[in-house]
A and B are shown apart, each in its own frame.
Chain A
């Protein structure tokens, strides 16, 4: 009885791993989309980790709202493996929300499509989505709440 239960648990996880490997191979061969993101924690860190896991760091560009030294230590460690990092040290004197808005505008000017993960209270991110819609970009907003 216990053996049957164990096999039931093991089999789907194996198939799931295979699916991930297949999709990764598919991504490496066929896609090649370039991803632009910022350097904060949370969503951006996950995006950077995903790009590095997919073994395509050349298709990743990280734009920082301020200089590298103003970033948290975790982000600095993660960004060591990223080839293309654009910093904005000229915004160091600005408050972070204003620097983030400038950074987001720059990111939108460089890209065709926007995928954003936000709460309904995430004003800066939602502002960026509205700006992207004005720019006639294809916008996908995924709300986490």
Chain B
């Protein structure tokens, strides 16, 4: 191994060290939870957000439990609208079927009694 080779090796090692520190800084700036407290030049804004960088998007597949299912909108067809319109406009006696649970409170029973009267 010659002296030139030694110089080349030293330069190469220094470059690699520089690259390593740059890479370490860049990783630290992206992954804040793993960052050493007080180490490096962290911004105040990052600390206020608990070490989370808002520009960094969290990867997909987040488990948020079982959210409330979106209520399906009622289907509206011309037939159903005409049927409801006919029911509103229809006058005269009609046949009603009244069904219900046996476990009915006294107040509900009074309301049901009034329904027939009205």
Contact = CB atoms under 8 A, between A and B. Distances in A.
A54 B97 contact: no
Nearest to B84: A138
B58 interface: no
Contacts, number: 136
Contacts of A108: 97
B114 interface: yes
Interface of B (DSSP majority class): mixed
A91 interface: no
Interface string A36-67: 11101111111101110110000100000000
A34 B110 CA distance: 20
B101 A125 contact: yes
Interface residues of A, number: 46
Which size class do B's interface residues fall under? 20 to 34
Contacts of B57: none
A49 to B, nearest CB: 5
Contact of B95 (A23, A40, A104, A110): A110
Interface in A1-43: 20, 23-24, 27, 31-38, 40-43
Interface of A: 20, 23-24, 27, 31-38, 40-47, 49-51, 53-54, 59, 104, 107-108, 110-119, 122, 125, 128, 132, 136, 138, 144
